[in-house]
Each structure stands twice: as C-alpha cells, then as structure tokens.
Amino acid sequence: MDPYGLTRVIGQPGVLPQRAERLDPSLPLREDEMLLDVERLNVDAASFRQLRQAAGDDAVKVGAEIARIVTERGKMQNPVTGSGGMLLGRVREVGPQHPAQGRLVPGDRVATLVSLTLTPLLLRSVDTVDLSADRVDVSGHAILFASGLWAKLPPDLPEALVLALLDVCGAPALVARHVQAGARVLVIGAGKSGALCCAQAKRNGARQVIAADISAAAVARLEKLGYAEGLAIDATRAMDVHAAIVEATSGALCDLVVNVASVPGTEMASLLSVRKGGTVIFFSMATSFTAAALGAEGVGKDATLLIGNGYVEGHAELALDLIRHEPALRQLLEERFKA
Amino acid sequence: MDPYGLTRVIGQPGVLPQRAERLDPSLPLREDEMLLDVERLNVDAASFRQLRQAAGDDAVKVGAEIARIVTERGKMQNPVTGSGGMLLGRVREVGPQHPAQGRLVPGDRVATLVSLTLTPLLLRSVDTVDLSADRVDVSGHAILFASGLWAKLPPDLPEALVLALLDVCGAPALVARHVQAGARVLVIGAGKSGALCCAQAKRNGARQVIAADISAAAVARLEKLGYAEGLAIDATRAMDVHAAIVEATSGALCDLVVNVASVPGTEMASLLSVRKGGTVIFFSMATSFTAAALGAEGVGKDATLLIGNGYVEGHAELALDLIRHEPALRQLLEERFKA
C-alpha cells in the first residue's frame, strides 16, 4: 500500500509527490489508486497569472506551456510559483484497495480536492484555454492516491461553477472558522476567493467586511451585492492600505485579515491592517513566508499569522452550501465561470 | 514623523524598509530615530548557513560577503534567503521624538529586537566571524525607527548569551502560548531555538517532548538535560519522521509541532507528525509557504498552520526568565555562545 504515492516519484526515493521534480503517470493502475479521464484543469490563480504574463496573454502559448510542463514533470506544477490547481474528470477505474471503492463507479464525474502539484497527470492534448477563468480544457488521464481527496459533482449546480468553487473552498471554510460575530474583516483580493470569503464573513455575523482590490470594478461588484464595503487600492502599497483601513475602522483596525491576492508583495498591507491580537490568514499562493514572519516583527505587531491550509474538514460541502444559500453570489460566479 | 522608516528607503517610494532593495544609513539622524554604535551582528541561522556554504566554511570570505551585502543594500539582508538577524550595540544618540527618549541614555548597551532586514546599517569594518555561533563582530552604526523594538541588556547575564537568546525569543514565546498541559510536542531542530522551545514546552507541562535533528549529538544533549526525548533523523525525509513519530506517540501523533530547522524541505515531516486538529508553528526561515499550504492539502491534514511571528508581546522577558530558571539550559547555551 502506498497512500501518499511515493512509488509514483521518479528518481527521488522517500520524497513525497508534491516535492518531487517528476512523477510517473503511466499505467497500469496500482491496486490502491483511482484512474480518472481528465477533462478540465483549473489552474490556481497565482500560477495562471504567471503563465499569462510570460505568454503575453496569448492563450495558445499558455496552452503550449502547460503541455510542456506536464510532459516534463508528469504533473501540472508551475515551476515559477510552485503551485497547481485542481481538475475535473470522469472515473475510469477504481482500484480494489482505493477508499472510493463502492462509493464511485466508472463514469461518475468528480473533481479532485488535492493539488495538481502532487497528481500524476498525462495529457494527450490541451484543447481550449480560457484566459478569463484560469481554466483549461484537456484530454488525458490522472491518478489519485488513497489519501487524495475528491468530490462527486452535485447534480443541482453547473459543473463549471462547482469546479471553480471547489478549487478554493478552503478559504471560505477557514473564514467560517475564524470570523466571530461582530468582527471587522478585511479581505484583500476581490476575485472568486475574495467574493466567497466576504459572503462567508457576512454569514458569520461580521459587523464590517471590507473588500480591497486594485480593480475598482471587482470591489464595486461585491459592494453592490451587499457583501462588503469596496476599497479600490493597490495592496502592494502597504502604507496606503494602512491609512485607508485606519479611516474605515475609525482607528480600530481589523480583527481578521484574509489575504487572497493573486500578486506578490501584499504581506505588509495585511500586517498593518490587523489589530494587535488579531489574525491574518494568508491564502495567496504568492505569499512570501519570510516577508510575513519578518514583517510582523519589523513593525512590532503581535498577531496570529496563519498559513491558509487548503484542506479544512467539510470545506467542499460548506462552499456548495454557501453558494446554494446566496443567489447573488451564485449569479456573480456563474457569470464569470460559464461552462 | 516616520515610524516605519519610509524616508530611509532609496528609490522605491511607499515601500517599507524590509521589502526595499536599498536603505540609506547615512547621518544626520532624524528626530524620531535612534542611533546605535554597532558591535556585533547575530545573523539568522538560515542566512548564516547559506553564507557558510557559499564561502566553503571560510570565515574570512563570509565576512567579506557580509561587508559586500551591507555596502550594497544599506542593511544586512541575505539576498538568497531574504532573512536577517539582529544586532548588539551601544546607544550613541536618542532623537528627541524617539520613544526611547528618557528610557535610554548614550552609552547604554542594547540589542535590537527587529530584524536586520529593515535596519539601516553602515559598517566601517567586519572584524571577527564566529562560524560556530552565527556571530560577527563589526564596527559601524545602525539606525532604529520609532516602531523598532529593542531591549536593554540585563546586568545579570553574559552579553553573548543574551544576544543569542533575544535573536530567537519569539519561538519559546509562541510555544508558551500554544502548549497545553499534557500535550505531545515535536520540535524539529535541536539547536539554540530548539533547546529553548523544548525547555519551554516542558515548563508548560507537556506530557511528551520530542526533539528531532540530524545531529545525534544535538538531540543527545537535550535528552541528557531532560528536556526531550531525542530523535536523530533527517527531517527532510518526511516518511521516516512520520514512522518514528507514529511509534514514539503510539499512533497519537503530536498536538503541536514546532519547526525551527535551519534547512529547507522539512514542511512535510511537520505536517505528517501533527495530529488532525493540531497545530504546526513554522519558525524556520527556510520554510516554503506553498510547500506548507499545499502539503497539508495534499495529505488531507486539517491542522492549524502558523507562521512563526518573530514578535510576541513580552518575548524578550520570557526568554530571559526561562534561562534564569533553567540552569541546565543556561549552561548549554553559555557553552555554545561564549563571549
């Protein structure tokens, strides 16, 4: 038995698949693995942004680079950002020792809830790259280990929406865990994750939710829906953000800051916006560990700094539940994530 | 007033000193700054290790590289690791608007509690490099902003010991905050920080403290003093560590894992050693944010992942208090950190 997939790592014995340079996605399937026919990749925001920039926003070039990375590494792990994303596909075979045995049958549509950075992947073709939705239609196969989380797609929600949701469902789940009623919350980044986090913070009874983003349109959308006060600002400019949050909170600063920015350099804005004794959750894959750790020390801010864990028990159910109960949020995300 | 030192940043308006490429350490002193005559730098462990490796363990070359970095950047921030350390010196001048006005006078010996990564520094000479203690004797001056934390050196403890302690005092302070009585604790890294964390965990009433390090001598020292069970192991080999911790805890895993390793690649060992619902504190400056965040997701581990904040209120007093009450720990550290 090999629940973490060590036998799929090429040339680095004892190294786990995520840290490995290369994985072996070849068949046959082991007894404790599951085989998926892959239809779509949802590349994580930081990685997709890097790929777009490197390719000058050319969808065909982005697709070619993804094909190159997967051929070289046997997985979709962006070598620059180190991050991945997740995928949607159909069950082809469930190994007799895989925990999904008896719960999934060939043909079932599932999304993976583990990162692409540790999922053996073999692509036959990269078909359509949707630059606006960080989404790539492909054909190929992927292998899920016994420890790998997955979700069966619910029948009542559009697949594209579900995939987009599941990709980031750890963020609203951690918000649900950390927002107390009456809290002041700042969410940095007003894209998909940001919208989910704002809506969840409201549901938890936050007294004030502020959504900060460089895009005035993005923050206006959340403001219009009543999920947040919008703050159109460049979050890499820490002192500007600090001044705006001091004003918005009458000097109290925020109890919780959730960082889901897709650009680097927003650690200090987060640290300067949280009150002494408050909490910052860094969910952005562009977060620099040293910038966060040393930054807090540098400004003498005693706050709890959390690494946004992509896995929170019940996170998929929570995100799907959130979208079912928030029609405005569903509409917003459906417009962006059309099939 | 400029409490965060923005006016000391060269060529990047609005950028805080820590993120800046270059700082201006020149005089005259501003009204809200403090000027120190610098005598010694304590370079952080990850940075010092990198410098040593690049210089082939040649103390003179390490010194030359430190001089080069400080000349180029106006601060001691290792361009590879991004990390710094702290310094010891003597007060030369306290600006009339600096908060230390009235509490410190010229001639007082102080250590900085903010990172060297944001401290304007000008070196006239690099004198002695102590490869065994991550310590460099220098002469020059440094500037402390109004927000910059400092500690006056206590008269009852040797300076070298105090400086070594203050450099890492955030770690035992966070351990004090997070260890419940009866907890099982794993500390990865049995050097200076590791010793302090183990001793503090014991004081908090941990039922089991395990110290893991690749150096059998280092873990044997802590075991002999009664601070921990020693586990001599390569913590970059996650599966080996996991197996050892399963055995040591009879399958329970640890409530708290404290990572103070000075090498990269120990995130997965930390994640596989903590129980579901437990906490990992990453204090190592070699921590990769994405490896930690995606690693937890990859193995489906719902645990609280903390970025070790270098500033915890009262951390300096707590560390000094710990060493005063633990003669064995004091002796251990004094042997390593001779004046």
Q: Model confidence over B141-188: pLDDT tens digits?
A: 999 999 898 999 999 999 888 988 988 899 999 999 999 999 999 999
Decide which of B277 and B19 is more confident.
B277
Order across the sheet with A85-94: list the strands: A121-130, A135-144, A34-43, A85-94, A109-112, A150-152
Say how far apart CA A276 and CA A254 lie, in whole Å.
9
B contacts of A173 (beta carbons < 8 Å): none
Q: What are the C-alpha distances in Å from A205 to residues A143, A175, A183, A285?
A: 41, 11, 7, 27
Order across the sheet with B254-259: list the strands: A229-232, A208-213, A184-188, A254-259, A274-282, A304-307, B304-307, B274-282, B254-259, B184-188, B208-213, B229-232
Say how far apart CA A298 and CA B117 lie, in whole Å.
8
Q: Categorize the per-residue pLDDT at B336 as very low, low, confident or very high, splitting at 50, 70 and 90.
A: confident
Q: How far is B303 from chain A (nearest CA, A)?
A: 8
Candidates A4, A293, A300; nearest CB to B307: A293
Return all residues near A301 (Cβ < 8 A) that are at least 6 apart: A271, A272, A274, A276, B309, B311
pLDDT exceeds 60 at position B339: no
pLDDT exceeds 60 at position B132: yes
pLDDT exceeds 90 at position B338: no
Return all residues near A138 (Cβ < 8 A) that are at least 6 apart: A38, A39, A40, A41, A66, A123, A125, A126, A127
Q: Which amino acid is at B167?
A: D
Candidates B113, B237, B295; nearest CB to A18: B295
pLDDT exceeds 60 at position B101: yes
Query: So what's the pLDDT on residue B209?
Result: 98
Query: So what's the pLDDT on residue A133?
Result: 83
Centre a 10 Å sphere on the Cβ of residue B216 and count the other Cβ atoms it contains. Answer: 13
Closest CA relative to residue B242, chosen from B321, B282, B309, B301? B301
B contacts of A149 (beta carbons < 8 Å): 297, 300
**SS3 (DSSP) at B165:** helix
Query: So what's the pLDDT on residue A339?
Result: 52
Say how far apart CA B76 and CA B82 lie, in whole Å.
10
Q: How far is A319 from chain B (nearest CA, A)?
A: 16
Closest CA relative to residue B174, chosen from A87, A40, A296? A296
Whether the Cβ atoms of residue A172 and residue A199 lie closer than 8 Å to each other? yes
Q: How far is A170 from chain B (nearest CA, A)?
A: 9
Burial of residue B6, with CB atoms counted within 10 A of its CB: 0-12 exposed, 13-18 middle, 19 or more buried: middle
Of B34-43, B270-279, B328-337, the least confident: B328-337
B292 touches chain A (CB under 8 A): yes
Query: So what's the pLDDT on residue B239?
Result: 92
Q: What is the CB-side half-sphere exposure of residue A265 using CA atoms within 13 A?
A: 13
A contacts of B47 (beta carbons < 8 Å): none
Residues of chain A short of pLDDT 70, as ranges, are 338-339
Find the angle CA(B161)-CA(B162)-CA(B164) to the nearest 5 degrees: 65
Say how far apart CA A158 and CA A171 lie, in whole Å.
21
First-residue to last-residue Cα distance in chain A: 38
Q: Categorize the per-residue pLDDT at B193 as very low, low, confident or very high, splitting at 50, 70 and 90.
A: very high
B79 touches chain A (CB under 8 A): no
A206: left (phi over 0), alpha (psi -120 to 50) or beta: beta
Helix (H), strand (E) at residue B162: helix B159-167
Closest CA relative to residue B163, chosen from B172, B154, B171? B154
Whole-model pTM? 0.85
Q: Which amino acid is at A225?
A: L
Candidates B83, B238, B305; nearest CB to A307: B305
Candidates A283, A289, A310; nearest CB to B288: A289
Percent of chain B with pLDDT strictly greater than 90:
84
pLDDT exceeds 90 at position B15: no
Query: So what's the pLDDT on residue B297?
Result: 87
Q: Do A297 and B309 touch (CB under 8 A)?
A: yes
Residue B306, beta-bridge partner list: A306, B281
Any idea how long chain B is? 339
Question: What does pLDDT average to over chain B?
Answer: 94
Query: So what's the pLDDT on residue A24?
Result: 98
Q: Which amino acid is at A115?
A: S
